[in-house]
Amino acid sequence: MADIIVQSFQQAINLLTSGNPEIYATVYRTIYVAGVGSLLACVWSIPIAVLLGLYNFKGKWVVKGFFNALIGIPTVALGLLMYLLLSRQGEFGSLHLLYTLNGIALGDALLVSPLIISFTANALGTADTQLRDLARTLGASGLRTNLKLIRETMWSMILSITAAFNRGFGELGIATLVGASLLGNGTIFSGTRVLTTAIALETNFGRFDVAMAYGIILMAIVIALALTLSLIERLREEDGLHVKLTFWRGLGGS
Amino acid sequence: MKSTYIIIAAIIVIVIIIGGVFAYISLSTPASTPNPTPTPTPTLSPTASPTSTPSTSPTPIPSTTPSSTPTSAPSSTSTPTPSATTLNVATTTSLHDTGLEDTGINGDTTGTIKAAFEAKYPWITVNFVALGTGAAIARAEAGDADMILVHSPSQELAFLNGGYGVDRKIIAYNFFTIVGPANDPAGIKGMTNVTQALIQLYTAAQTNSQVQWVTRNDASGTATAEQNLWKAAGYTNFNSLLAQTSWFHATGQGMGASLLVANNGIGGGSPAYILSDMGTYLAYSKDANIPQLTIEIQNQKALLNVYSAIIDNFQNGVLSNTHFYAAQTFINYLVSTEGQQLIANFGTSTYGQQLFVPFVPLASGTAPNATLLGWIQSYAYMSYNTATNSAIISASGTECPTQFRSYADDMYTPSYDTVANINLYTSITAPNYYSTDGQQILLAQPAPTLSSGKFYKA
């Protein structure tokens, strides 16, 4: 079995250098559904998160607990629900989203919404307790305080969106049930085969090394994304430090 | 205290909302499907028989008389080029997972059905949704597939009788195989009576803990075939077999996953026996994924595995948006000489063995084999029972009773170009045995005389 893992790294390189447009399309499709899905989710998730994070109302903990629980929703369960709704006989069958990338993206958006809401609301809540009083003492209005708080938690929001992207990137249930893993002809919108369904399919064929190779490609992209974000965060911190130092020197400090 | 009430009320509301959504979905799904009234499509036998009788005589003419060339050429050019259509085919996994349909072997898609068909009919994009037979039929009944490619006559019968399918056509066959550990603890290797072998295996399993059996039990065609085998052996209550968990293991998974379970043995025990389709077994053996399993029994009548294509019945209201003409074009391609040869040759160079045997050469008498044809007829042919108003499995029937044919034209006219030397099942050696365009007359016929445009809907 160990040699299969070694082989699969070789196989991953072979796949990427083979020049087969369908393999690149598979990668692009995965990025497309996860990206569009997370961005779409932001449209409604961020306002809800702001509402949950910055405003108090009765029974807020129930709503927060509800969203926390939904983070763990099984992708196959949501995929099945999406299939029933998007099926030609389903309630939204007229949208013709079944077996399309946009259908998967919509499913991903629903899948990752609770994750974005919970993480962002928590970050806002934490910042709220620390900063609100300070801002108010300094004379900021209610709206300005809230805007300031949202700016302060921007980085946490980006991280939660990244986590959402990764969940959409690596999910299988929705892509299988809504997308059905249709083989394309090398262009993005010609098929619905994404990396995870390609892994499942190759496993069915018994070609474990190729399946593993797709897994390696998937992980490489996820890791690359995470490292890039870490790098940006690090640069941002250094930059902030640099600004502070200049400011300090400007005041005559050493 | 007050907030407690609010919280309780909120929880109740949420539960009601979730419950309501689920109840709505579960209630609306069967409500929206039509009553499965066994109303077969209006029989078109009067229109079908006149067209089929002349079509048999012109078929040989173009190859002999030059005068037919001008007549056939305008007919192919005058065929209006339809607008782009996407054909969704719900297909059984055992056909799909060999790579025959679209994926190919080792990523080489040149010899696949998708590549060949789309090259010939560029306006049709064919997509394969790989599912078990049960799930494939469910998708077609919901109108989410335009046709099915399956291998379970009893389930096909229910699909036809439910008014969901028309124009059933047998495209290929092969045999299931019983595989098991090389040391064969049940001693069934090479037996010719499958019923006897299963009884012997059952008896051995009661005393010998090395005798294990893995079953898929996932409503697939293979699982249905296996249950029928156990029934034929006298074990009519499949649930009582499933209850014997000391040796009878149900995976509920696909063929490949189940083969792996059988290969590894349960709980580190002896490798298990399992019924497998030939394609998946060969594909897994080739890559040395299942070194413990060898073929115990094969090529028996009881292990016959017949693949059929059925088109959605567009005259059933729910299925009115399905692409009938594209599906019929696809099936006509599959049973053409070119399509049949493509099926026959697929995988032979990789596996050293034929995976699927084309049916049309056998049925048309090009490659006669009365025994084999008799097996297939008694297993998968259907006739119409006027008393119950439904189709039944019957050796005296046809591939599809006329009551379930819709605009079939000469779909059921046996036609296959003369083959010099075709060796059934083992291998086909002559790759050039068909004339280049032998099937053009059949395939280039204009669209059925219906409200035109309906079937071209993208």
Number of A to B CB contacts under 8 A, please give it: 78
pLDDT at B116: 92
Distance CA A165, CA A34 (A): 5
pLDDT at B15: 63
Q: Where are the alpha helices (DSSP H) in B346-431?
A: 348-351, 360-363, 370-380
Please, how many CA atoms are within 13 Å of residue A75, restricted to the half-sphere of its CB?
Answer: 21
Q: Give me the phi and psi of B246, to 5 degrees please.
A: -70, -25
Distance CA A211, CA A159 (A): 29
Number of residues in chain A: 254
Distance CA B326, CA B149 (A): 14
Q: Tokens 């009115």 belong to which residue? A: B320
Across residues A86-108, what is the average pLDDT? Answer: 90
Distance CA B448, CA B41 (A): 15
pLDDT classification of A134: cutoffs 50, 70, 90? confident
> Please, what is the Cα angle at B366 between B363 and B367, to 5 degrees?
80
Q: Report yes or no: B453 and B325 within 8 Å, Cβ to Cβ.
A: no
Interface list for A 88-117 with B (CB within 8 A): 88-89, 91, 98-99
Amino acid of residue B108 = D
Beta pairing partners, B307: B172
User: Could you say which of B25, B93, B106 has the minimum Cβ distance to residue A84?
Assistant: B25
Residue B369: how many other CB atoms lie within 10 Å? 14
| Domain ranges, ordered by start, for chain A | 2-250
Spatial neighbors of B172 by CB under 8 A, at least 6 apart, are B306, B307, B340, B343, B356, B357, B358, B359
Q: Domains in chain B and their CATH numbers? A: 83-174+304-456 (3.40.190.10), 176-303 (3.40.190.10)
User: Could you say which of B11, B29, B93 has the minimum Cβ distance to residue A84?
Assistant: B29
What is the rounded average pLDDT for all residues in chain A?
Answer: 88
Tokens of B271: 């490798």
Assign a CATH topology to domain A2-250.
MetI-like fold (1.10.3720)
Q: Name chain B contacts of A181, Cβ cutoff 8 Å.
A: 130
Render B5-58 in DSSP notation, one character per residue.
HHHHHHHHHHHHHHHHHHHHHHHHHHHHSPP----PPPP-HHHHHHHHHHHHTT
Q: Are strands B213-215 and B273-277 parallel, antiparallel or unpaired?
A: parallel
Outline where DSSP puts E strands in B46-192: 85-92, 124-131, 147-150, 165-181
Number of residues in chain B: 458
What's this model's pTM, rounded to 2 decimal places?
A: 0.73
pLDDT at B107: 73
B85 closest CA partner among B59, B118, B63, B111: B118
pLDDT classification of A122: cutoffs 50, 70, 90? very high
> Please, what is the Cα angle at B238 between B235 and B242, to 5 degrees?
115
Spatial neighbors of B306 by CB under 8 A, at least 6 apart, are B151, B153, B170, B172, B173, B359, B376, B379, B380
How many angstroms separate the first and last alpha carbons of chain B? 60
Q: What is the largest CA-CA distance in chain A?
A: 74
Amino acid of residue B89 = V
A215 closest CA partner among A246, A170, A154, A155: A170
Q: Are strands B85-92 and B147-150 parallel, antiparallel or unpaired?
A: parallel
pLDDT tens digits, chain B, 458 residues: what are they? 455 565 566 666 666 666 665 555 444 444 333 333 343 444 333 333 333 333 333 333 333 333 333 333 333 334 455 678 889 999 998 888 888 998 888 778 888 999 999 998 888 899 999 988 888 999 999 889 999 999 999 999 999 999 899 999 999 999 999 999 999 999 999 898 999 999 999 999 999 989 999 999 888 889 999 999 999 999 999 999 998 888 999 888 888 889 988 998 886 678 999 999 988 898 888 878 899 999 999 888 899 999 999 999 888 878 888 888 889 889 999 998 888 888 988 888 888 788 888 898 888 877 778 888 999 999 999 999 888 888 999 999 999 998 888 888 778 876 665 443 333 333 222 222 222 222 222 222 333 333 322 232 22
Q: Name chain B contacts of A87, Cβ cutoff 8 Å.
A: 142-144
Return the residue of A nearest to B86 by Cα.
A190
B412 closest CA partner among B360, B337, B341: B360
Spatial neighbors of B155 by CB under 8 A, at least 6 apart, are B133, B134, B137, B221, B224
Question: Interface pTM (ipTM) of the complex?
Answer: 0.71
Q: Tokens 């890559």 belong to which residue? A: B287
Interface list for B 83-102 with A (CB within 8 A): 88, 93, 97, 99, 102
Return the residue of A nearest to B290 by Cα.
A206
Q: Name chain A contacts of B128, Cβ cutoff 8 Å.
A: 182-183
CA distance A158 to chain B (A): 30
Return the residue of B nearest to A210 by Cα.
B106
